[in-house]
Amino acid sequence: MSTKSAELTTRFTNAGLQFDEQAGGLVRAVFSGATAAGELFLHGAHCAAWQPAGQRSVLWMSQLSYYEAGKPIRGGVPICFPWFGAHATDKAAPGHGLARLQEWELKSAQSLASGGLRLVCATELAPFQLEYAVEFDKQLKLSLTTRLGADHPTPQRFEDALHTYFSVSDIKSVSITGLENRHYIDKVGQVAERSASGGAIVFTEETDRIYPQSSESCVIHDPDWQRQVIISKSGSNSTIVWNPWIAKSARMPDFGNDEWTGMLCIETANVGSDAITLEPGQQHTTTALIAVSDLTSQ
Ligand code: TA6
């Protein structure tokens, strides 16, 4: 155990947290409680695992993920901030912004009455201050708060996304409800606006959609695993749905060629026309609340 991990384990020992270092020297916090287990890397404040008691693991991680400073971890919940996708003008800038590439500070770890754990991480990405609260419990609660200092001279705009990767039995047998009545931007091939489908989302090819002005909850229906995953949210007006399918998976070195069948992303975001502009002294919180229910108990 490195000095840093040992110091953190001592500092947060009453919260039942253990710390270790993965390949690349990234420090990981590991929690195992009565209601859930969870993992979070300080690199990117990256939530890498959540498994409620009695359930399969809910977040998906690539077997080929990087665990290196300066590179994003593939899977779990990358934090996209202060831009989503490619930078508007700087082609050399990293996709999905800088927050997922820098080391965050673990500010607090608090046991919850339920037996879960609440972690709070913080970082600075000028001119913004970021605070990220993660609750590992029967539900997974992720809250990203962005603050702009009162002494800042001008309003500032940002995009954010909690880019959550979910494990599924088979992408070809799951469906998503909640967005039937929403139009969307189709990013596959020539970007195009598409009208509302009127039905559940099913997957038969690469799927990469931004649903603007969508604050609804979404449900992943996974009949093979006899479960539903419910993603509700606040402070988010964009929802992104993504599965890379075959060709795009093969183009990503940190994504196994056959891993596309076992994952999908539903992202809780504010992007494009839903981007947030803060006045000096203001803050905004984007929250995702993730729960699992057994179909057998329905
Ligand atoms: O959220 C969907 C998306 O924008 C896709 O276009 C794909 O690029 C995905 O994010 C992953 O991006 P990343 O930079 O993590 O490889």
What residue owns the CA closest to ligand 1's atom 14?
Answer: 95
Tell me if residue 21 is catalytic: no
Q: What is the pTM of this model?
A: 0.97
Give residue 22's pLDDT: 82
| Residue 6 pLDDT | 85
Q: What is the pLDDT of residue 297?
A: 58
CA dist 4 and 94 (Å) reads 28
Q: Read off the pLDDT of residues 71-112 as tens digits, 9 standing for 90 and up.
A: 999 999 999 999 999 999 999 999 999 999 999 999 999 999
Residue 73 Cα to chain centre, angstroms = 11
Question: How confident is the prediction for the chain on average, in pLDDT?
Answer: 96
CA–centroid distance, residue 85 to ligand 1 (Å): 7
Q: List, for residues 145-173, the tens digit of each pLDDT value.
A: 999 999 999 999 999 999 999 999 999 99
221 is catalytic: no
In ligand 1, the atom with minimum distance to the C-alpha of 242 is 2
Residue 2's pLDDT band (boundaries 50, 70, 90)? Answer: confident
Please state the atom number of ligand 1 nearest to the C-alpha of residue 78.
Answer: 15
Nearest atom of ligand 1 to the alpha carbon of 163: 1
